[in-house]
Amino acid sequence: MGMMRTSMEPPPNADHGELSKFDALAHRFWDSHGEFRPLHLLNPVRLGFVAGHASLAGARALDVGCGGGLLCEALSRQGARVTGIDLAPGMVEVARLHAAEAGLDIDYRVAAAEALAAGAERFDVVTCMEMLEHVPRPQNMLATLASLARPGGSVFVSTLNRNLKAFLMAIVGAEYVLGLLPRGTHEYDRLIRPSELARWARAADLVPHAIAGIELNPFTETCRLTRDPSVNYLVHLERVQG
C-alpha cells in the first residue's frame, strides 16, 4: 500500500539541478556573512510585509521552499505554528538542527508542495520566497500554493521581475560584479513579471491585495520596502472564499 501511495503522488514541480545547487551550500546557510547574506538582510523585510498583511499569532503557517529555515524561525517567533517544506534534504537537516538549538518547535519536512496539497492540511498563511523563478512550471506552483491555503487564507510570494533593470542589477550586478550571490543563481528567462504573476493568481482563485518592491543596498547593506517592483518584489494574495 505504501508503494501505491507513493506512485500516485503528483510529481514535484522542481528542477533537480537547482536543488543540487542549493543543497550543496546547506552547511553555510546560517553564516550571515557567507553566500546567503542577502537572504539574512532580506528576511526582516519579508517578515514585516507578511506580518503587516496577516495575523500570525496562533496562525498555521507553511513556508514552501524553506531552505535552512530563516523565514520559518521568524514566523515562529511571531507566534505562528510553522511547517516548512523543501526538497533539498541537506537544507532541511540544517533547518531542523538550527531550530532545535534555538528551542523553536517547527515542523520541517522533506516534501513536495504537490504531495502536501494532495492531503487534507490547509494553512492560514502560505509563503514562498525566491522560489517561483527556480521551478520549471511557476504557474502550476502558484496554483499549488493556492490550494494549500484555506479559503480566506493568505499567500505571500517574493520573486524577481523580468526586465533590463532586473537583469543588470540582480544578475549582472549581484552575481558577477559584486559577488553577492553565486554566479548562475538566477536565469533571466525564468524571471517573472508582476502582470504574469497576477494573471496566474486569478486563474488559481487568488485575489492580489498588495505588491511592494524590495530595495537592497549592497554598499550600506540595508534593505527596505519600496513602491517600485521593478527588480525584487513581494506580493500578498488572498484565497477566494467559497
Q: Give the tens place of pLDDT for each residue, 209-220.
A: 999 998 887 778
Distance CA 241, CA 205 (A): 9
pLDDT digits (tens, 9 = 90+) for 132-187: 988 989 999 999 999 999 999 999 999 989 877 755 655 544 543 444 555 556 56
What is the pLDDT at residue 109? 98
pLDDT tens, position by position, 50-83 = 999 999 999 999 999 999 999 999 999 999 999 9
What pLDDT sits at residue 47?
97
Q: What is the distance in angstroms between the CA of the first residue and the CA of the last residue of the chain?
A: 34
pLDDT for position 39: 83
| Euclidean distance between CA atoms 68 and 98, whole angstroms | 8
Angle 224-73-20 from CA coordinates, rounded to 5°: 90
In this structure, how many other beta carbons lie within 10 angstroms of the beta carbon of residue 173? 17
Q: What average pLDDT does range 178-207 have in this prediction?
A: 79
Phi and psi at 63, nearest 5°, equal: -110, 115
Q: Which candidate, 86, 45, 42, places its Cα nearest to that of 67?
A: 86
Determine contact, residues 71/127, Cβ cutoff 8 Å. yes
Burial class (CB in 10 A: 0-12, 13-18, 19+), 95: buried
Calpha distance 134→19 (Å, rounded): 9
Residue range 16-239 forms a domain whose CATH class is alpha beta
Sketch the domain layout of the chain as residue ranges: 16-239
- Mean residue pLDDT of the chain comes to 84
Element (H, E) at 86: strand 81-86
The span from the CA of 98 to the CA of 92, in Å, is 10
Q: How far apart are CA 157 and CA 172, in angstroms?
A: 23
User: What is the DSSP secondary structure assignment for residue 176, as one 8-state letter?
Assistant: I
User: Given this model, what pLDDT does residue 162 score?
Assistant: 83
